[in-house]
């Protein structure tokens, strides 16, 4: 079965306990290999599914188009989010997987947030590293009990602290079980991010 995204899949270790696979969603300029080391650090025995974003911005892969820094093409975001949701369904069928927990960074975290809002139930949870609210007028979503970790950086020059706070509040209003942590960090992933995601991951 040919899947609709270029991706890497690493099966769970044979001795791994039953649990959610990770859907690894890279930032701008990454690819399907970018977050595999992170996946192995936070969940050494879990199955890993890591697609490559289909949009190119100056040759750099992304999951959806933006008009300028911080201004998203929301029509494209909606279409690409639905494409990604369909890919997750394809991959679950092809590889025999339960619903995954997304671990997204920057652009990947934003598309994971869009998945939560547009396609509730596709994800079993999400760790959103340096994410914003992806829509100007977010659609209502039933996220009752869905675990979400939002990690923001106090010195992030790209994602203002208020944007991360708004995202955490929005997901909480939609019923998600949200933990929001602001780290003494910039936009990049730090060791503390890794530790927090590993300790948070649902069983």
* 69 Cβ contact partners less than 8 Å away, ≥ 6 residues apart: 158
Work out the angle at residue 102's Cα, subtended by the Cα atoms of residues 99 and 105, and round it to the nearest 5 degrees.
170
Rounded-to-integer distance, Cα 186 and Cα 198, Å: 20
Query: Which of 65, 110, 109, 119 is CA-nearest to residue 88?
Result: 119
Q: Does residue 75 have an active-site annotation?
A: no
Token pair 């369904």: residue: 89
Catalytic residue among 34, 156, 174, 193: 156
Q: Does residue 156 have an active-site annotation?
A: yes
Catalytic residue among 106, 152, 174, 193: 106
Token pair 């001795």: residue: 15
- DSSP H or E stretch at residue 36: helix 36-42
Q: Do 197 and 35 meet the contact criterion of CB atoms below 8 Å apart? A: no
Q: Does residue 164 have an active-site annotation?
A: no
Rounded-to-integer distance, Cα 57 and Cα 69, Å: 12
Q: Do 124 and 97 meet the contact criterion of CB atoms below 8 Å apart? A: no
Active site residues: 106, 156, 187
């Amino acid at each position: 079965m040919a899947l609709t995204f270029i991706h890497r899949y690493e099966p769970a270790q044979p001795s791994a306990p039953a649990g959610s696979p990770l859907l690894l969603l890279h930032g701008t300029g990454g690819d399907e290999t970018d977050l595999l080391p992170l996946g192995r650090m936070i969940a050494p025995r879990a199955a890993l599914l890591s697609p490559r974003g289909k949009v190119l911005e100056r040759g750099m892969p992304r999951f959806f188009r933006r008009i300028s820094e911080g201004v998203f093409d929301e029509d494209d975001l909606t279409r690409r989010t639905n494409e990604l949701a369909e890919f997750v369904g394809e991959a679950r069928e092809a590889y025999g997987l339960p619903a995954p927990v997304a671990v997204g960074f920057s652009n990947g975290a934003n598309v994971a947030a869009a998945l939560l809002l547009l396609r509730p139930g596709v994800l079993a949870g999400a760790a959103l590293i340096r994410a914003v609210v992806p829509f100007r007028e977010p659609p209502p979503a039933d996220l009752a009990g869905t675990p979400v970790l939002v990690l923001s950086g106090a010195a992030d020059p790209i994602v203002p602290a208020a944007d991360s706070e708004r995202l955490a509040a929005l997901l909480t209003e939609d019923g998600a079980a949200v933990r929001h942590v602001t780290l003494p960090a910039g936009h990049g992933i730090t060791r503390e991010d890794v530790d927090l995601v590993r300790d948070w991951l649902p069983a």
